[in-house]
Structure 1
Amino acid sequence: MTPELLALGATALIHVAIVGWSQKSLEADVGHEGNVGTRENLDARLSEKTKRLRRALANHTENIALFVIAVVMVQFTGSNGWFTAICAWVFVIARALYVPAYAFAWVPYRSLIFTVGLVACLAMIIASLF
């Protein structure tokens, strides 16, 4: 298995962890019944931290697609190498740091961490094109 595919698997595990953290925080705010209910007017009942966690989860979900594309392109073009491996793991580390940075409002570091992950992902795509 290539380092890029391992990084993709690690990204999936990070996603599961974010979902769990977000749900635990949501349930702390609204209780079990509120969590399994219709969720009408839910946002009004959530803490700021839970709202940030839910936005971080949405951001992570959006960014997984670009990373999947990068990994698929690298795999199919045979562009695997030390550069793409490093980029893949930089992306994973950035995503793992991004969620707590978002949850705990680490400004401006959150944006810097996001940018590092995005650049790493784009570098993989560009490397696969040449």
Structure 2
Amino acid sequence: MTPELAALAAAAFVHFASIFVSQRFLTRDIGREGNAGTRENLEAQLSPLTLRLRRANANFTENIGPFIIAVLVVVLAQKTSATTAVLAWLYVALRAIYVPAYALGWQPWRSLIWALGAGATMALLIIGLF
């Protein structure tokens, strides 16, 4: 397995961990019964922290697709290198930091962390294509 594919698997674990944490806070806010229910008017029942965790997860979902594509392009084009390995693992580390940065309202650091992760993904794509 290439380091880039290992990073992709690690990104999935980071995503699952962020979902798990978000769900724990959701359950804390609305209880097990509410969590198993229809979740109508859910947003009004959630704490600001839980809302931020849910937005962080939505952002992760939006950003993992391009990363998956970038890793596949690099691996399938056989353009893996030490640089692409570092970029892939940098993305994973930044995503792991991004979730608490979003949840705790670290401004402007949250936006910088996001931009660096997006930059790592773009760099992987460029390397894979050229």
RMSD: 0.5
| Structure 1 residue 129, shift from structure 2 partner | 1.2
CA shift at 1:113, angstroms? 0.3
Distance 1:102 1:6 in 2: 25
Please report how far the alpha carbon of residue 75 of structure 1 lies from its aligned counterpart in structure 2 after TM superposition.
0.8
Aligned to 2:117: 117
- Give the structure 1 partner of residue 77 of structure 2: 77
Name 2:92's counterpart in structure 1: 92
In the TM superposition, what whole-angstrom CA distance separates every residue of 1:38-94 from its partner, at most 9, and x where no partner exists?
A: 001010000000000000000001111000000110011001001110100110000
Structure 1 runs (4+) deviating above 2 angstroms are none
TM-score, structure 1 as length reference: 0.99
Alignment correspondent of 2:3: 3
Asked if residue 14 in structure 1 is aligned to residue 14 in structure 2, the reply is yes
Match for 1:92: what amino acid?
V
The SS at the match of 2:96 is: helix
Normalised by the size of structure 2, how large is the TM-score? 0.99
5+ residue gaps, structure 1, are none
1:41 matches 2:38: no
Counterpart position of 1:28: 28
